């Protein structure tokens, strides 16, 4: 073999040793399934989906080492070996002393905001994820989004569209008073804002502002590894550092973090709450025992803690991260080539199609995003999710963007699956004038996207 540059193709850096069959349906079958589900893909059984891009949460494929850890798991009630292993991995990654296991991300949020939220309090973030916002509001506090303006423009190619607008943060503190702001959050990557990363420079600026005003700074760190790798790729001066070193610096800048391990933890269930403050941690442990479980297992089995410990190590493997970020970009770039407008540039875990641009003939009150989701299912058995007027509409009025999210489960689909999605989306785009709008026939008062029923206009 010769020296020097050779094969360029980025491959899936794993082999497949266990397979799960995909049920292939016909267009006629899917038409009947879609009607039975009243044009709501949440109501379709997963077995009747060919490529499931509904979410990247809890849908990862675990590695042989993670499964081996599941067998080794120590199921002792208190002080299990698996707990100490997990705690040591999280301390090594984050440098944060207090590690509380929880059954998933929202349990961490519920504990944190019950302790520091409450009426009269204001909690800023770049964009709060919906469970985070819901838990803040449940405590009586107010959740405020301060993402930079570029983060709201689908075509802006800003490399860090997840950044917080620090001038707006200063204004909010001046107006509200630092004593009414118990914590400033930052979601990495910014899920609600299109999976866009936050730069180290921005994290440092927010840290400095929080320190100046005596405000705690926490990460919503579900996708910390994808964010760290995007920093390595896009931030000047970071390309020679490892993703792990960058992630460690991200955690070094904060007082704590809430994490759903169902994302970059590479597991199907699990969460973490991290904090430096001893007194706060003591109170959090009391709540943990009240609703999740003893402090050395949270709501989890010992085997779950082993799988998480291994997942938080594996996710920082640079071959994995290169493949992960590259495969998301691959989907996004090919959709753009086919003429389909997406939120640019591609972020970490998902591609967001601009459904308003895709279906200009469908007015907002006929749900262009939902109509596109149904058409993708009918055409090729692909399940995506609407993030637009169905999810956020109602009393508050239509949201700024009508999006359809294609979330990519970790290590589950190969390039040919993604090629199938690209081809199907391009075919649907060719025939886009035939996509029909929808009207709601039945909807619950809250969170209507899960159960609403539709018919075609």
**Under the criterion CB under 6 A, does residue 104 sit at the interface with ligand PLP?**
yes
Nearer to ligand PLP, 77 or 450 (CB): 450
Helices then strands (H, E): number in the chain? 16, 14
Residue of the chain from 165, 220, 226, 402 that contacts ligand PLP (CB under 6 A):
220
Residue of the chain from 69, 73, 101, 105 that contacts ligand PLP (CB under 6 A):
105
Nearer to ligand PLP, 191 or 370 (CB): 191
Neighbours of 307 (CB within 10 A): 30
Minimum CB distance to ligand PLP, residue 195 (Å):
9
φ, ψ at 174 (rounded to 5°): -60, -40
The interface mask with ligand PLP, positions 272-291, x = CB under 6 A, is --------------------
Nearer to ligand PLP, 222 or 380 (CB): 222
360: which 2 tokens? 């200009």
Measure the CA–CA gap between 219 and 59, rounded to whole angstroms: 22
Nearer to ligand PLP, 127 or 310 (CB): 127
Residue of the chain from 125, 135, 191, 375 that contacts ligand PLP (CB under 6 A):
191
| In contact, 384 and 369? CB cutoff 8 Å | no
64: which 2 tokens? 């042989």
Nearer to ligand PLP, 131 or 366 (CB): 131
**Under the criterion CB under 6 A, does residue 292 sit at the interface with ligand PLP?**
no
DSSP classification of residue 366: G
If DSSP codes are grouped into helix, strand and coil, which group holds residue 385? strand
Residue of the chain from 69, 265, 271, 437 that contacts ligand PLP (CB under 6 A):
271
Residues 232-261 within binding reach of ligand PLP (CB under 6 A): 260
Residues 121-140 within binding reach of ligand PLP (CB under 6 A): 129, 131-132
**Under the criterion CB under 6 A, does residue 73 sit at the interface with ligand PLP?**
no
Nearer to ligand PLP, 196 or 375 (CB): 196
Peptide bond into 188 cis (omega under 30): no
Give the residue among 130, 145, 325 at the shortest CA–CA distance from 227. Answer: 325
Query: Across-strand partners of 350?
Result: 407
Nearer to ligand PLP, 267 or 438 (CB): 267
| In contact, 223 and 217? CB cutoff 8 Å | no
Minimum CB distance to ligand PLP, residue 435 (Å):
29
Measure the CA–CA gap between 146 and 198, rounded to whole angstroms: 13
Stretch of 80-88, 99-107, 173-181, 308-316 lying at the interface with ligand PLP (CB under 6 A): 99-107
Nearer to ligand PLP, 82 or 131 (CB): 131
Say how many CA atoms lie within 13 Å of 400 toward its Cβ.
9
Stretch of 100-108, 148-156, 303-311, 382-390 lying at the interface with ligand PLP (CB under 6 A): 100-108
Measure the CA–CA gap between 74 and 65, rounded to whole angstroms: 16
Task: Render 369-420 in DSSP notation, one character per residue.
Answer: HHHHHHHHHHHH-EE-EEESHHHH-GGG---S--EEEEE--TTT--HHHHHH
For ligand PLP, the nearest residue by Cβ is: 105
- Residues that contact ligand PLP, how many (by CB under 6 A): 15
User: What is the edge-to-edge ordering of all strands in the sheet holding 385-387?
Assistant: 350-354, 403-407, 385-387
Measure the CA–CA gap between 215 and 171, rounded to whole angstroms: 14
**Under the criterion CB under 6 A, does residue 264 sit at the interface with ligand PLP?**
no
Nearer to ligand PLP, 121 or 263 (CB): 263
Minimum CB distance to ligand PLP, residue 300 (Å):
12
Say how many CA atoms lie within 13 Å of 266 toward its Cβ.
27
| Exposed / middle / buried, residue 433 (Cβ in 10 Å: 0-12, 13-18, 19+) | exposed
- In angstroms, how far is CA 169 from the centroid of its own chain? 23
**Under the criterion CB under 6 A, does residue 106 sit at the interface with ligand PLP?**
yes
Minimum CB distance to ligand PLP, residue 403 (Å):
15
Minimum CB distance to ligand PLP, residue 142 (Å):
18
Residues 171-190 within binding reach of ligand PLP (CB under 6 A): 187
Nearer to ligand PLP, 189 or 327 (CB): 189
Residues 31-70 within binding reach of ligand PLP (CB under 6 A): 57
| In contact, 366 and 214? CB cutoff 8 Å | no
Nearer to ligand PLP, 186 or 424 (CB): 186
Minimum CB distance to ligand PLP, residue 81 (Å):
25
Nearer to ligand PLP, 187 or 296 (CB): 187
Say how many CA atoms lie within 13 Å of 133 toward its Cβ.
11
Per the listing, tokens 């405020």 go with 144
Peptide bond into 48 cis (omega under 30): no
Measure the CA–CA gap between 285 and 20, rounded to whole angstroms: 39
- The footprint of ligand PLP (CB under 6 A) covers 57, 104-106, 129, 131-132, 187, 191, 220, 222, 260, 262-263, 271
């Amino acid at each position: 073999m010769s020296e020097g540059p050779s094969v360029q193709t980025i491959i899936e850096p794993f082999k497949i040793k266990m397979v799960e069959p995909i049920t292939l349906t016909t267009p006629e079958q899917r038409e009947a399934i879609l009607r039975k589900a009243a044009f709501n893909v949440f109501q379709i059984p997963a077995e009747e989906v060919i490529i499931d891009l509904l979410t990247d949460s809890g849908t990862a494929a675990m590695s042989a080492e993670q499964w081996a850890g599941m067998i080794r798991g120590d199921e002792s009630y208190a002080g299990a070996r698996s707990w100490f292993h997990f705690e040591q991995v999280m301390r090594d990654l984050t440098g944060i002393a207090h590690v509380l296991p929880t059954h998933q991300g929202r349990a961490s949020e519920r504990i944190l905001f019950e302790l520091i939220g409450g009426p009269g309090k204001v909690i800023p973030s770049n964009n709060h994820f919906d469970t985070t916002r819901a838990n803040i509001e449940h405590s009586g506090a107010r959740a405020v989004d301060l993402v930079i303006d570029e983060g709201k423009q689908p075509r802006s190619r800003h490399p860090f569209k997840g950044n917080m607008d620090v001038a707006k943060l200063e204004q909010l503190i001046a107006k509200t008073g630092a004593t009414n702001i118990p914590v400033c959050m930052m979601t990495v990557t910014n899920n609600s804002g299109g999976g866009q990363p936050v730069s180290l420079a921005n994290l440092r600026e927010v840290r400095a502002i929080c320190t100046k005003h005596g405000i705690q700074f926490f990460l919503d760190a579900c996708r910390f590894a994808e964010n760290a790798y995007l920093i390595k790729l896009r931030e000047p001066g970071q390309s020679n550092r490892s993703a792990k070193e960058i992630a460690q610096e991200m955690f070094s800048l904060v007082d704590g973090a809430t994490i759903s391990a169902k994302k970059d933890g590479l597991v199907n269930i699990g969460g973490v709450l991290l904090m430096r403050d001893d007194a706060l941690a003591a109170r959090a442990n009391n709540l943990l025992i009240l609703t999740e479980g003893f402090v050395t297992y949270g709501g989890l089995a010992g085997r779950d803690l082993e799988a998480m410990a291994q997942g938080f190590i594996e996710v920082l493997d640079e071959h994995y991260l290169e493949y992960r970020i590259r495969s998301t970009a691959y989907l996004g770039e090919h959709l753009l080539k086919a003429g389909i407008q997406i939120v640019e540039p591609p972020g970490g875990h998902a591609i967001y199609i601009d459904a308003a641009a895709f279906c200009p003939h469908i007015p907002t009150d006929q749900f262009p995003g939902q109509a596109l989701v149904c058409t993708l299912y009918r055409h090729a058995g692909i399940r995506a999710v609407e993030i637009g007027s169905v999810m956020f509409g109602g009393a508050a009025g239509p949201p700024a963007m009508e999006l359809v999210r294609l979330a990519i489960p970790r290590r589950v689909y190969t390039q040919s699956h993604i090629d199938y999605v690209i081809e199907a989306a391009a075919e649907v785009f060719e025939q886009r004038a035939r996509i029909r709008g929808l009207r709601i026939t039945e909807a619950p008062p809250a969170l209507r996207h899960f159960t609403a029923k539709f018919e075609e206009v």
